[in-house]
Amino acid sequence: MKRESAGTVPEGASRSAGIVETKYMTIAEPPQALKLESGESIGPVTLAYETYGTLDPDRSNAILVLHALSGDAHAAGCHQGEEAPGWWDAMIGPGKPFDTDRYFVICSNVIGGCKGSTGPSSTDPQTGKPYALEFPFVTIADMVNAQRRLIDLMEIDRLLCVAGGSMGGMQALQWVASYPERVRSAIPIATALKHSPQQIAFNEVSRQSIMADPAWRNGNYYGIGQPERGLAVARMIGHITFMSDQSMEEKFSRRLKKERFSFNFDANFEVEGYLHYRGANFVKRFDANSYLYITKAMDYFDLSGGRLINDRKVDTRFLVISFKSDWLYPAYQSQEIVRQLKQKQIDATYCELKSTYGHDAFLVELEGQTTLIHHFLEKTYRGERNGNGYRR
């Protein structure tokens, strides 16, 4: 994308969030430790995050964006010296749906992860060694509690919006469940109130693949080398579930890597080569133990049965988005979110977008999302500025 200065940008054009850097918040104020759902505590806790745009003087334009399983705080713009933009760069920036000319966008990483926040690969202050499996079990609610400390630190009373896809959507839902008074609106995308047994099963097979690798060493592999082969297989399973039958057909069909089929167990088909490539890349950037902890947090997550909206005074507005070809987080799961909201008279808009990209659609199917999110945020923002809360 051509970079232009603000003055010469034609109306409607979108630009990059520019050069950004990841920041870190460590809970320094008492209580320094974070009390977890399991009953255990952990501390000190560091959270990696990025921000784009400027916080209004009245601190009313903050949007919290949340990432999926293997994502990180780097959602938009570019890091100095790097070419690849953040994972949701198409959606966040000046003139983009999460318009940084208007909104102050925060993207927060999660505890349990390996992207700058406290997780199993962090040093346990009690032992001076990485936590490994001594790291306590964390839930989506624990992740959100840590993020709340970040929002407290920024002195933001109420977020204009929390938004995210997949596990990011779970966090958005959890924000409403835990702190409804602090969330003006929410955009859960391609997500669910709880994992189905099929979703749990795919995660469990991925975990089994990691733990079956002798290099996993019961989690104590730091300084030796992580279980790359098991983690790569786990990621390959993931990638199949992120795509759709149709998108794989369009992308690979039965094309061969070489001109003729080779009678051996190498990657003969392009789709095999793609999976190998994805698996090999992933192990360079993600910690196997974090994969175990985070997938378990997703499986444990359950806001069904009235747990999403347990306070009748909730006035959070919702935009719920699903994608037609997403079979990992099927549309019926988003519809169930909407059903729960409507039962509690919550203002909710639902849209099932056409897409062949499967679950990946929340990252790559831009057009439909752009329009929906742009208008939803604008209406929420205007409502917030025109009075104490949103007016229809």
The residues facing 164 across adjacent strands are 66, 188
Q: Is 240 in the site for its own copies (CB under 8 A)?
A: yes
**Complete DSSP assignment for 44-103:** S-EEEEEEES---TTS--EEEEE--TT--S--SSEETT--S--TTTTTEETTSSEETTT-
The residues facing 185 across adjacent strands are 317
Pick one of 87, 179, 202, 357: the residue that binds its own copies (CB under 8 A). 202
Pick one of 132, 200, 351, 366: the residue that binds its own copies (CB under 8 A). 200
Pick one of 61, 118, 145, 209: the residue that binds its own copies (CB under 8 A). 209
Identify the sign of the CA torsion 349, 355, 357, 363. Answer: negative
Q: What sections of the chain are H helices per DSSP?
A: 140-153, 167-178, 197-212, 228-242, 245-251, 270-285, 288-300, 331-343, 361-364, 366-385
Count of residues for the chain? 392
Pick one of 198, 281, 343, 371: the residue that binds its own copies (CB under 8 A). 198
**Active-site residue numbers?**
166, 326, 359
Which residue number, 5 or 218, has a Cβ lying nearer to its own copies? 218
Which residue number, 74 or 296, has a Cβ lying nearer to its own copies? 296
The site that binds its own copies (CB under 8 A) totals a number of residues, namely: 57
CB contact at 8 A, 280 and 235: no
The 3-state secondary structure of 134-176 reads: HCCCCCHHHHHHHHHHHHHHCCCCCECEEEEECHHHHHHHHHH
Pick one of 97, 112, 130, 136: the residue that binds its own copies (CB under 8 A). 136
Binding mask 22-61 for its own copies (x = CB under 8 A): ----------------x-----------------------
Which residue number, 213 or 384, has a Cβ lying nearer to its own copies? 213
Binding mask 353-392 for its own copies (x = CB under 8 A): ----------------------------------------
Binding mask 243-282 for its own copies (x = CB under 8 A): x-x--xx-xxxx------x-xxx-xxxxxx--xx--x---
Least distance to its own copies from the beta carbon of 7, Å? Answer: 48
Pick one of 292, 331, 341, 353: the residue that binds its own copies (CB under 8 A). 292
The residues facing 79 across adjacent strands are 20
Q: How far apart are CA 133 and CA 73, in angstroms?
A: 24
Least distance to its own copies from the beta carbon of 243, Å? Answer: 8
CB contact at 8 A, 37 and 57: no
Q: Is 114 in the site for its own copies (CB under 8 A)?
A: no
Which residue number, 149 or 207, has a Cβ lying nearer to its own copies? 207
Choices 59-67, 114-122, 212-220, 364-372 (CB under 8 A): range interacting with its own copies: 212-220
The residues facing 322 across adjacent strands are 352
**CB burial readout 234-250, b (16+ within 10 A) else e:** bbbbbbebbbbeebbee
By CB under 8 A, what part of segment 316-335 binds its own copies? 327, 330
Residues in touch with its own copies (CB under 8 A): 38, 133, 136-137, 194-198, 200-202, 204-205, 207-209, 211-214, 229-230, 232-233, 236-237, 239-240, 243, 245, 248-249, 251-254, 261, 263-265, 267-272, 275-276, 279, 292, 296, 299-300, 302, 327, 330
